[in-house]
Amino acid sequence: MALSRILKSERRKRGRSAFKGAVILCWTDDRGQDHYRNGRCTNIGERGCSIELTESLPLRALISLRIPELDVASFASVRHVTRKGMKINIGVEFGQAVRLPLANEEELQP
Protein backbone atom coordinates (compact mmCIF):
# COMPACT_ATOMS: atom_id res chain seq x y z
CA MET A 1 0.00 0.00 0.00
CA ALA A 2 1.35 3.44 -0.91
CA LEU A 3 2.34 5.63 2.03
CA SER A 4 -0.09 8.34 0.90
CA ARG A 5 -2.98 5.86 1.27
CA ILE A 6 -2.11 4.89 4.84
CA LEU A 7 -4.42 6.53 7.33
CA LYS A 8 -2.87 9.13 9.58
CA SER A 9 -3.84 7.07 12.65
CA GLU A 10 -1.90 4.11 11.22
CA ARG A 11 1.24 6.26 10.90
CA ARG A 12 1.39 7.14 14.59
CA LYS A 13 4.60 6.16 16.30
CA ARG A 14 2.69 5.23 19.43
CA GLY A 15 -0.77 3.72 19.47
CA ARG A 16 -3.89 4.87 21.23
CA SER A 17 -6.41 2.97 23.28
CA ALA A 18 -10.16 3.35 23.15
CA PHE A 19 -11.43 5.28 26.15
CA LYS A 20 -14.78 6.91 26.84
CA GLY A 21 -14.55 9.50 29.58
CA ALA A 22 -15.14 13.13 30.49
CA VAL A 23 -12.54 15.77 29.64
CA ILE A 24 -12.38 19.39 30.76
CA LEU A 25 -10.72 21.90 28.40
CA CYS A 26 -9.50 25.44 29.04
CA TRP A 27 -7.86 27.93 26.67
CA THR A 28 -7.39 31.66 26.15
CA ASP A 29 -8.39 33.18 22.81
CA ASP A 30 -6.46 35.87 20.93
CA ARG A 31 -8.48 38.58 22.75
CA GLY A 32 -7.38 37.26 26.14
CA GLN A 33 -10.77 35.76 27.01
CA ASP A 34 -10.75 32.44 28.88
CA HIS A 35 -12.92 29.59 27.59
CA TYR A 36 -13.96 26.37 29.31
CA ARG A 37 -15.61 23.37 27.68
CA ASN A 38 -16.60 19.87 28.68
CA GLY A 39 -16.08 17.11 26.15
CA ARG A 40 -15.75 13.38 25.83
CA CYS A 41 -12.45 11.64 25.21
CA THR A 42 -12.81 8.85 22.62
CA ASN A 43 -9.25 7.52 22.57
CA ILE A 44 -5.99 8.26 24.33
CA GLY A 45 -2.29 7.54 24.10
CA GLU A 46 0.76 8.86 25.89
CA ARG A 47 1.26 11.59 23.24
CA GLY A 48 -2.33 12.69 22.50
CA CYS A 49 -6.04 12.03 22.44
CA SER A 50 -9.22 12.53 20.46
CA ILE A 51 -12.04 14.56 21.98
CA GLU A 52 -15.69 14.97 20.99
CA LEU A 53 -17.16 18.46 21.53
CA THR A 54 -20.31 20.37 20.56
CA GLU A 55 -18.30 23.48 19.53
CA SER A 56 -15.14 23.89 17.50
CA LEU A 57 -11.77 25.05 18.79
CA PRO A 58 -9.22 26.96 16.73
CA LEU A 59 -6.58 24.86 14.99
CA ARG A 60 -3.20 25.10 16.77
CA ALA A 61 -4.86 26.51 19.91
CA LEU A 62 -2.89 25.80 23.06
CA ILE A 63 -5.19 24.23 25.64
CA SER A 64 -5.07 22.84 29.12
CA LEU A 65 -7.00 19.63 29.66
CA ARG A 66 -7.96 17.34 32.49
CA ILE A 67 -9.28 13.78 32.35
CA PRO A 68 -10.32 13.20 35.97
CA GLU A 69 -11.11 9.50 35.55
CA LEU A 70 -7.51 8.76 34.55
CA ASP A 71 -5.94 11.44 36.77
CA VAL A 72 -4.40 13.03 33.64
CA ALA A 73 -3.70 16.76 33.30
CA SER A 74 -1.67 18.26 30.46
CA PHE A 75 -1.12 21.16 28.12
CA ALA A 76 -1.82 20.30 24.50
CA SER A 77 -2.07 21.70 20.98
CA VAL A 78 -5.12 21.22 18.73
CA ARG A 79 -3.77 19.35 15.69
CA HIS A 80 -6.97 18.68 13.75
CA VAL A 81 -10.65 19.61 13.84
CA THR A 82 -13.29 17.52 12.04
CA ARG A 83 -17.07 17.81 12.00
CA LYS A 84 -18.96 14.51 12.40
CA GLY A 85 -22.67 15.23 12.14
CA MET A 86 -23.63 17.56 15.00
CA LYS A 87 -20.38 16.95 16.87
CA ILE A 88 -16.85 18.24 16.46
CA ASN A 89 -13.95 15.82 16.78
CA ILE A 90 -10.60 17.33 17.72
CA GLY A 91 -7.24 15.66 17.89
CA VAL A 92 -4.76 17.05 20.38
CA GLU A 93 -1.07 16.45 20.91
CA PHE A 94 0.19 16.66 24.48
CA GLY A 95 3.10 19.01 25.15
CA GLN A 96 4.79 16.22 27.06
CA ALA A 97 4.08 12.50 27.16
CA VAL A 98 1.56 11.61 29.86
CA ARG A 99 1.74 8.57 32.02
CA LEU A 100 -1.43 6.54 31.69
CA PRO A 101 -2.40 4.60 34.79
CA LEU A 102 -3.62 1.55 32.86
CA ALA A 103 -1.66 -0.42 30.33
CA ASN A 104 -4.06 -2.05 27.91
CA GLU A 105 -7.21 -1.17 26.01
CA GLU A 106 -9.51 -3.51 27.93
CA GLU A 107 -8.60 -1.78 31.19
CA LEU A 108 -9.26 1.71 29.77
CA GLN A 109 -12.87 0.98 28.84
CA PRO A 110 -15.35 1.54 31.68
Enumerate domains of the chain plus CATH numbers. Answer: 19-101 (2.40.10.220)
Distance CA 67, CA 86 (A): 23
Instruction: Please report which confidence band the pLDDT of residue 10 belongs to, taking 50, 70 and 90 as the band edges.
Output: low
Per-residue pLDDT, averaged over 66-75, amounts to 93
As a three-state string, the secondary structure of 37-94 is: EEEEEEEECCCEEEEEECCCCCCCCEEEEEEHHHCEEEEEEEEEEEEECCEEEEEEEE
Residue 41 has pLDDT above 60, yes or no: yes
- Segment 58-70, tens digit of pLDDT: 999 999 999 999 9
pLDDT for residue 11: 54
Closest to 93 (Cα-Cα) out of 7, 5, 13, 6: 13
Residue type at 52 in one-letter notation = E
pLDDT for residue 20: 92
> What average pLDDT does the structure give for the chain?
83
Spatial CB neighbours of 21, under 8 Å, sequence gap ≥ 6: 40, 41, 67, 68, 69, 70, 110
Closest to 91 (Cα-Cα) out of 107, 80, 76: 80
- Segment 11-40, tens digit of pLDDT: 555 677 888 999 999 999 889 999 999 999
* pTM higher than 0.85: no
Residue type at 88 in one-letter notation = I
